[in-house]
Structures are given as C-alpha cells and as structure tokens.
Amino acid sequence: MSDRVSDDVFADILAQVRRFVREDVVPWENEIMAADRIPDDLRGRA
C-alpha cells in the first residue's frame, strides 16, 4: 500500500479546498479578522 495520493485525487482535494475557501471562508474574512477567531459554524463546515 502506498501513502502517495494520486495526482487526480490531489487535484480533486485541492479544488474542493479552493471552493470552500472562496465560497465559505472569504465572505467571513472581515469577521474572522475582527474577532481573531473562526466562527464555530464555519469550523463545523470544514
């Protein structure tokens, strides 16, 4: 068994992370910066 992630799987994971950051995190960035913490509901979606 290999610990290596295939290029296709890595690309899928990367796309999902980018989408999550763009759609779920960026809209909260001002609140995150002001409170210096990540809201619990956003953490739950991660």
pLDDT value at 1 more than 90: no
pLDDT value at 2 more than 80: no
- Is the overall model pTM greater than 0.85, yes or no? no
Other CB atoms within 10 A of residue 29 CB: 10
CA distance 12 to 35: 32
CA distance 27 to 16: 17
pLDDT value at 3 more than 90: no
Do 31 and 39 touch, CB atoms closer than 8 A? yes
What would the pLDDT profile of 26-35 be if each residue is shown by its tens digit? 999 999 999 9
Reported confidence tier of residue 39, pLDDT bands at 50, 70, 90:
very high
